[in-house]
Amino acid sequence: MSVLSGADAHLTPNYARFPVEFARGEGARLWDSDDVEYLDFLSGISVSSVGHCHPAVVAAIREQAAKLIHVGNLYYTEPMSRLAARLAECSLGGKVFFTNSGTEAVEAALKCARKARRGGTIVSLHGAFHGRTYGSLSATPQESKQAPFAPLVGGFVSVEATLDALSAVVSEQTAAVILEPIQGETGIHALGDELLGGARELCDATGATLIFDEVQTGLGRTGTRWAYEHSGVTPDLLCTAKALGGGLPIGALITGERHADTFAPGDHGSTFAGGPVVCAAANAVLDVLLDDALLERVSELGELLREGLAPLRHVVAVRGRGLMIAFDLDIDANAVSRRLLLERQLLVNATGPRTLRLLPPLVIGESEAIDALERIAAILETEA
Ligand SMILES: *Cc1c(COP(=O)(O)O)cnc(C)c1O
């Protein structure tokens, strides 16, 4: 029995893992336990935006771990206070609640919006993904993810991602509208400025809270700090996570002024969240990602990749923004992603039976973008 099949004896079978065991990483490169080198164009699903083991992040973790690892949320630490100020300042200007994951950032947003309008309905959109815990899952209208775990949380409705559908349900009884400016897990579909602007107007007219889930799109992924900047539409609550800790688990709910003091002592909490080590790592991550030159390069390399993908054999559509890219194939995407990994050592991921997604580290250079295109072309050319 190999080490890999042995592992499955003790891991619950809820992930379809590939037969590769990774041992180390640097930038956009990974090495497996046989020291074979790979090019990572998935970043642990938009997590390793600064690349693997960024030296500044490693140094921040080492330094903080030797000073203080945990003290809890009954006290202050400098890394936490500094990170909160920086996150608020680069987005909605209100206050920050720290979490350990994306789904918890969404849970915090839902609870905040419900407290602001007691008993109100939460409205989400078809094609959304907001996480796996019960509140977030209740806002994730996908039959395969919800059905085995019913009954879900009450007071959630989902509608088609159109302004007409949204207008028909948002009222004075709505606590919140939650959406991803670009829907990531279901194949990278941008919602369009008209829909975002319309959602803003509906929330303003009814007093509902507008929540943007930027767990995947935030922190430079689309070529701006936040994806909402492209539309000019500002939410009341903003959820972030994936890239924030450089690979360590941290998320945050960021509020605007209106919700800055909605939570009172005792309303909500988390034992580990906002710990000094993850916050020190996140401060080092922000130093790298909140950089105009880097953001500009993200936009340029995204264009290069999209232009390079479009003419390839079997590619029927390409979409995305910055380094958040999907392309549709006229063949099985899972088989292609498996071949890319095992034959060309390129990490990508299939978001659907015919769709592949690229989320490379934001620190890649042009040569790595071209290298990835060549590996993808090589596989697609040999497919019938
Ligand atoms: C990944 C993701 C989540 C869930 O984040 P976890 O850290 O896995 O809980 C929520 N919303 C969006 C948009 C995501 O992409």
What digits encode the pLDDT tens for the residues 190-217? 999 999 999 999 999 999 999 999 999 9
What digits encode the pLDDT tens for the residues 68-92? 999 999 999 999 999 999 999 999 9
Same domain, 296 and 251: no
Put simply, whether the predicted model's pTM sits higher than 0.95 gets the answer yes
In this structure, the chain runs to a length of 384
Same domain, 97 and 22: no
Quote the CA–CA distance of 133 and 314 in Å, as a whole number.
Answer: 37
Cα 123 to middle of ligand 1, angstroms? 18
Q: Is the C-beta atom of 275 inside 6 A of ligand 1?
A: no
Same domain, 98 and 238: yes
- What are the residues facing 96 on neighbouring strands? 254
Of 242, 270, 349, the residue with max ligand 1 atoms within 8 A of its CB, to mutate for a pocket test, comes to 242
Instruction: Report which of 300, 304, 288, 326 is spatially closest to residue 223, judged by C-alpha positions.
Output: 300
Quote the CA–CA distance of 90 and 254 in Å, as a whole number.
Answer: 10
What digits encode the pLDDT tens for the residues 224-261? 999 999 999 999 999 999 999 999 999 999 999 999 99
Q: Which of 41, 97, 98, 129 is catalytic?
A: 129
How many separate domains does the chain show? 2
- Amino acid, single-letter form, for residue 60: A
Same domain, 180 and 268: yes
Quote the CA–CA distance of 264 and 270 in Å, as a whole number.
Answer: 14
pLDDT of residue 7: 86
What digits encode the pLDDT tens for the residues 151-195? 999 999 999 999 999 999 999 999 999 999 999 999 999 999 999
Residue minimizing CA distance to atom 8 of ligand 1:
102
Residue owning tokens 């088989």: 335
For residue 259, give every residue at least 6 positions away whose Cβ sits within 8 Å of its Cβ, in sequence order, or none. 94, 112, 113, 116, 209, 236, 237
What digits encode the pLDDT tens for the residues 285-336? 999 999 999 999 999 999 999 999 999 999 999 999 999 999 999 999 999 9
Q: Is 4 left (phi over 0), alpha (psi -120 to 50) or beta?
A: alpha
Cα 240 to middle of ligand 1, angstroms? 9
Quote the CA–CA distance of 124 and 119 in Å, as a whole number.
Answer: 16
Query: Domain containing 314 — which CATH number?
Result: 3.90.1150.10
Same domain, 84 and 230: yes
Domain boundary among the residues 289, 307, 322 is at 289
Of 47, 49, 124, 130, the residue with max ligand 1 atoms within 8 A of its CB, to mutate for a pocket test, comes to 130
287 is catalytic: no
Same domain, 86 and 218: yes
Same domain, 130 and 255: yes
Same domain, 314 and 363: yes
Cα 215 to middle of ligand 1, angstroms? 6
Domain boundary among the residues 267, 289, 311 is at 289
Q: Is the C-beta atom of 351 inside 6 A of ligand 1?
A: no
Q: Is the C-beta atom of 250 inside 6 A of ligand 1?
A: no
The one-character DSSP state at 305 is H
Same domain, 91 and 188: yes
Query: Domain containing 213 — which CATH number?
Result: 3.40.640.10
Q: Find the domain containing 300 and state its range.
A: 4-54+292-381
Cβ atoms of residues 28 and 368 within 8 Å = yes
Cα 159 to middle of ligand 1, angstroms? 20
Cα 184 to middle of ligand 1, angstroms? 9
pLDDT of residue 1: 39
Same domain, 38 and 138: no
Same domain, 126 and 267: yes
Domain boundary among the residues 289, 308, 342 is at 289
Same domain, 90 and 212: yes
- Tokens encoding 232: 């000019």
